[in-house]
Chains A and B, each alone.
Chain A
Amino acid sequence: MSQETMRIQKMSAHAGAIPGEDTQRTYVVSKLIDTTTCIGCKACEVACMEWNDLPFGETVFDNTYQTMPETRWNYWNLILFNEHEREDGSLQWLMRKNQCMHCADPGCLAACPSDGAIIQYANGIVDFQQANCIGCGYCITGCPFNIPKFNPQTKRVYKCTLCADRVGEGLEPACIKACPTGCLHFGSKDDMKDLAEKRATQLRDHYNFPNAGVYDPAGVGGTGVMYILHDATKPELYGGLPKDPQIPLMVKLWKGPIKWLGNIAMIGGLIGLFIHYLRFGPKDREDQDIREQIALAQEKAAKAAKEKNEEEHP
């Protein structure tokens, strides 16, 4: 899990081959977040700001244990809080560490028009390259999790990097390192899946959470950040985690069939006009006059022939 995992395997709006694509099989990394043992202490929020050197912004107090309503361009890691009343009347404090999910099939990357502004490394990390970002915000539209955030000063978009700089050096992300309860895990995707399933089984069998399960949504090809939920049938309870996230249909159409139909129509139109010109040429005066003269001459000839015919066979 070091330098060689930082090969680029996908790249936004890139014409041609991707350097590093499929050159080597490596571990896909994943974060595993156990919401059942998160105490909402925000150590991960602070560690994220510290490591990534993000300028501090104002917090918003709304009588809950949540730092602000949603992530910001300079606040990539946010514990979402929900006080949930269960059917038996008992209360549950649900904490979910929200950040970029590092989708295997990232909507931001599909939507981005700028060559190399969003890349995915062989280890699965989806990373924004602000030097190439044009600030169009297409990524905001492509993301099913509302993660990329625009900075009006730099006119670029920012989000969690899964600490690609640390992972590339064989370290775990800063949030993982800071977590005091051990609810955050980091490792290869396969190992994390294993661990997650074990914990979910434990929750179902021994802790009376019959619906406990793992969140690794297939609609986006699985994610580089997985959750263990007390109730995997209702992910929405955890700060609006979408049940079946997908790249929005409109974005898929836009970047898929519409693009191809549009390109074919434009090229076809150019070729069509060119062929029309070859066949008919300009609407030139002479052409038409000549055609009129020929028609006249033909008419005259026909008339003469008819007269001649009548003369010969009266």
Chain B
Amino acid sequence: MSQPDLLLPHGRILRYHFHERLTHWVAAGSFIYLMLTGLAFWSPWLFWLALVFGGPQISRTLHPWAGLVFFFAVSYMYAMWSAQMYSTENDKEWWKNIEHYTKNEDDRMPPVGRYNPGQKLLFWGFVFCGLLLLASGVVLWFPEYIPWNLRLLRYAAVIVHPGAALLSIGLFMIHIYMSVFAERGAFGSVIRGDVSVEFAKRYHPIWYKEVVGDSTNPPK
């Protein structure tokens, strides 16, 4: 069972459709804005970031709205990708060999499908952080409407929001590192949408087989 519509000329395979790429960049753009304005309020030493984004008042006003954009993008990602993100039997084996993965010995890793277990974890991490950030962010958005006897909500929000933000910033750093620096060729997949046959074979061999099927003449 192959997916010939994903095979492109010049030995390229389509990894992300236009709507997938667009969603990715809506999420990425809003996240970067949220991270930088959020960090401005997190630390006095980074407060200048808020000035860069047009002043602290504007940053305060727009941050929650950008948060809604981010949350909707993540929800849409959930709708698009969650089915492929559940772990399989194979994943345990992969985690056992994680050391080889970190040492770039990818040939010693068990073969993976469209997403490797690390990518799956990243996805669920962002979904989880997105939910926490939304819930705590709404409380921070309207502190003046939280009555005095419900102030525990506010106390919880000032811990949960930065906590989830830190967690997601950690995921974000690893995500950038892997997709821009470590796996050369991955970045193009969210820009132009395609990857090389070599890339697919090397990092996602099961997915590669799914795409080309048993075809005896793989894409040239």
Residues of chain B within 8 A (CB-CB) of A284 are 104, 184
Closest B residue to A261 using CB positions: B166
Interface of A (DSSP majority class): helix
Residue B174 at the A interface, CB < 8 A? Answer: yes
Q: From A133-141, A194-202, A208-216, A227-235, give the one contacting chain B.
A: A133-141
Residue B43 at the A interface, CB < 8 A? Answer: yes
Closest B residue to A13 using CB positions: B44
Residue A182 at the B interface, CB < 8 A? Answer: no
Whole-angstrom distance between the alpha carbons of A141 and B50 in the complex?
A: 21
- From residue 121 to 160 of chain A, which have CB atoms closer than 8 A to chain B? 132, 134-138, 140-141, 146, 149-150, 152, 155
Q: Are B104 and A287 in contact (CB under 8 A)?
A: yes
Residues of chain A within 8 A (CB-CB) of B170 are 265-266, 269
Residue B102 at the A interface, CB < 8 A? Answer: yes
Give the A-binding residues of B (Cβ under 8 A). 40-45, 47, 50, 56-57, 59-61, 102-107, 140, 143-144, 148, 151, 154-156, 158-159, 162-163, 166, 169-170, 173-174, 177, 181-184, 198, 202-203
Whole-angstrom distance between the alpha carbons of A192 and B6 in the complex?
A: 81
Q: Are A113 and B155 in contact (CB under 8 A)?
A: no
Residue A263 at the B interface, CB < 8 A? Answer: yes
Known: A149-B144, A283-B104. 18 other contacts (CB 8 A): A15-B44, A15-B45, A70-B148, A137-B144, A140-B144, A141-B158, A248-B151, A248-B155, A250-B155, A250-B156, A251-B155, A254-B162, A262-B162, A262-B166, A266-B173, A282-B181, A283-B183, A284-B184
Q: Are A259 and B143 in contact (CB under 8 A)?
A: no
Residues of chain A within 8 A (CB-CB) of B174 are 273
Against B, the Cβ 8 Å flags (1 = close, 0 = not) of A281-298 are 111110110011000000
Residues of chain A within 8 A (CB-CB) of B163 are 258
Residue A280 at the B interface, CB < 8 A? Answer: yes
Whole-angstrom distance between the alpha carbons of A135 and B59 in the complex?
A: 11
- Which one of A149, A250, A253 has the greatest number of beta carbons of chain B within 10 Å? A250
Contact of A285 among B43, B50, B198 (CB under 8 A): B198
Closest B residue to A263 using CB positions: B43
Whole-angstrom distance between the alpha carbons of A111 and B148 in the complex?
A: 17
Q: Are A251 and B144 in contact (CB under 8 A)?
A: no
Whole-angstrom distance between the alpha carbons of A137 and B107 in the complex?
A: 53
Q: Are B60 and A134 in contact (CB under 8 A)?
A: yes
Residue A4 at the B interface, CB < 8 A? Answer: no
Expressed in whole angstroms, the minimum distance between the Cβ of A136 and any Cβ of chain B is 5
Q: Are A113 and B41 in contact (CB under 8 A)?
A: yes
Q: Are A280 and B159 in contact (CB under 8 A)?
A: no
Q: Are B177 and A250 in contact (CB under 8 A)?
A: no
Q: A15-B44, A141-B143, A265-B170 are in contact. Are A292 and B155 (CB under 8 A)?
A: no
